[in-house]
Amino acid sequence: MTNLYCSKGHENSPGSRFCLKCGENLVDNYLGGSIQPGLILGDRYLIVRQVGQGGFGRTYLAEDVNRFRELCVLKEFSPQVQTAYVLQKAEELFQREASVLYKLQHPQIPRFRELFRVNIAGKEYLFLVQDYVEGQNYSYLLNERIKHGLRFTEAEVKQLLQQILPVLEYIHSLGVIHRDISPDNLILRNSDQLPVLIDFGGVKQVVAVVASQYYQPGVSASPPAATLLGKIGFAPPEQMQTGSVSPHSDLYALAVTALVLLTGKQPQELIDNYNLSWQWRREVSVSQMLGQVLDKMLAPRPGDRYQSAQQVLQALNPAPVSYPPTQPPIYTPEPTSGTVAVSPTPPPPLPPPQKTWWTPTKIFVTALVLTSTAGLVLWGLNQGDRNPITVNPTPTPTPTITQPTNPLDKYSPEERRRKQRLSDRRQQLGIDGNFYINLVNEIFWDKNPSLRGRTLSDGVEDESLRAQWDQTASDLLDKLTPLSTKARRQLGTYTAAERDQWKVEVNQINVGSRSLYDLGDAPFFKAFPQEKGKNFIDQPIGQIWHAFVSDKLSAIQAGSAFQKIVFDSGATSKTVSGTLKPTNGKVFIADLAQDQSLELTLQANPKVLLSVYSPSGKIIFLEDSSERSLSVQLPESGFYEFVVVSTASATADYQLTLTVENPTPPPELTPTPTETSTPTPTPTESPTESPTPIPTPTN
């Protein structure tokens, strides 16, 4: 049975009524429609799961089977009234909107693929198909920070504005207004950490027009009136009152989005209901420059706002001071994210001064990067020790820059060498610095709960704790070394959507995700036994579990951890054997028939565990079991899965034997003889009944 997912992507067991993580009603999501996971639409799009639901309709994650099973998003529109007239008008309007969407070709906007119509169980559906963006929207990211008492910093919000304003400038140049900018419609993409703009309001306008004008067949449709779209509090007053939109409408909504991220408050909590003025400054303090920019974007009168995204960018990025191209590069710390960093590895020493390459543009970019990390606490790098730039008041200013202090100089030679070794190892393993710091912090805090959230000092008073943090980091790197380079580089980016993709891939070779996870569990729990029984999947350490599973998927697909058992012609028994390295395993499948009897025996080290699953996955005969035999009558036809996994500390041999017999037919009934005057003739030859041969399982 297929697992259920809420609109946020949380996985739930079959039969769940509510999401165990967020409480969302799963019955409405899955029983309210006929589109279920596993359904293929238009002979092309394989539904993976539902990922959202709103006024527009349901949104699904799907695989494009015609494009190497690329993930994509299907946005459903199904009119409540099913008539030929309504469907025709809806499709015409969607085609008109599609012509606009086709024009949008920007790397931070999901590409529009196609519009298609399909009949499912007698009901007509229209779908828009767009590229899938792997990441989380800013509403989710904010809620996660609020749980830990955090908000977005000014530096992060300013960076968001600088990264999304060029996107708005692009769409506005094409005459397109988004109309619905909010944290829900901005996704932080995992692959490059750039914000992506989704859910253009023009599509929703089609829905609104169809709903309001085309439900009665035969009624002539006048030109659509301005449709009131946008979220209350985010859209400017004139948009909500009259439907009037302009580029400054999107800029207004973007400013509200920035305030929500800075304060953690919704717009209704930041507006004075008496005079309808923004009162956000009592919630957060920002620089004068950013405050003035936000106030102008939020001006009540449209004419008082910035009229283009370019104007906002110019206000955020005033022309930099022109310094002569003779200065050495300024050290830029590695950016971090998430919780307070306890003990990141300090940077390498500064390079010697270079000549003639330090341009004004590079000085400005460096200053921008430094600004973008100002709101994050980075232990081991004390920005206060850095001397400021001073400029001589001469007609041709020549700044004097004092070389910043190498943070390693604060520590003893032994500690400097230790931290440098950690830095070199992490970089050699290709592990993301942000993820590394967050993960070591979590492990360190689990061992020292009283220190949770505390920033260790650079002084001698915390020297022993710094040594403990570094030892935790060293142990962690040891445990990550067995992973493949690809898996290590993806740490910090694995998502529920990726797990969905893995399930589809192993299902193609008749292996279930439970067997795949068995292989991944062994090395993970060997390295982190304290995680057994915990809900770690969405924690930083859960990323390591994903990495192990990813490597096991590759091993299954390569055939080193997978084998199909095929019985020889006429044989009823088959034996497979091999040797397992520590924490390694193998999945075997055999195509068997319902009502056949199965006898299974395993000869192996007691540390080799055995699991046996039915084709549908509904029946678990054995799971991570130390039992060595199984006798059962098979309840289903299909591929049965047999998983052997070694938890031993040394290599272990195994020998797995399957014996399969067809069911014995019931004996024929012999009629009771009756007494007659005519003797029963004795047959000259007694026929013998041949046993029914066991069919050879199909490949």
Residues involved in catalysis: 180
What is the distance, to the nearest Å, from the Cα of residue 540 to the centroid of all Cα atoms in its chain?
13
Q: 461 is written with which tokens?
A: 């008073």
Asked whether the CA dihedral 7, 54, 115, 183 is positive or negative, the reply is negative
Per DSSP, 153 falls in state -
Distance in angstroms (rounded) separating the CA atoms of residues 79 and 552: 45
Query: DSSP string spanning 388-450?
Result: PPEE--SSS--EE-PPPPPGGGGS-HHHHHHHHHHHHHHHHHT--HHHHHHHHHHHHHHH-GG
* Cβ neighbours for 123, distance < 8 A, ≥ 6 positions apart: 34, 78, 82
What is the 3 state secondary structure string of 559-618? CCCEEECCCCCCCCEEEEEEEECCCCEEEEEEEECCCCEEEEEEEECCCEEEEEECCCCC
Tell me if 33 sits within 8 A of 58, measured CB to CB. Answer: yes
Residue 74 tokens read as: 């299907």
CA distance 656 to 673: 51
φ, ψ at 278 (rounded to 5°) = -75, 130
d(CA 85, CA 248): 37
Cβ pair 217, 88 in contact under 8 A: no
Sheet holding 608-613, edge to edge: 562-564, 585-592, 638-646, 608-613, 620-625
Query: Residue 191: CA atoms inside 13 Å, Cβ hemisphere, count?
Result: 7
Centroid of chain to Cα 1: 23
CA distances (Å), 73 to each of 78, 100, 186, 190, 289, in order?
16, 18, 15, 17, 39
Cβ count near 568 (within 10 Å): 9
Residue type, position 4, single letter: L
- Identify residue 263 by its one-letter amino acid code: T
C-alpha 478: how far from its chain's center?
A: 26
Interatomic CA distance for residues 336 and 155, integer angstroms: 12
What's the token pair of residue 610? 């055995």
Residues whose CB is less than 8 angstroms from the CB of residue 390 and which lie 6 or more positions away in sequence, other chains included: 399, 400
Note whether 528 and 479 are within 8 A (CB). Answer: yes
Cα–Cα distance list, 672 to 299, 665, 678, 687 (Å) = 103, 21, 16, 19
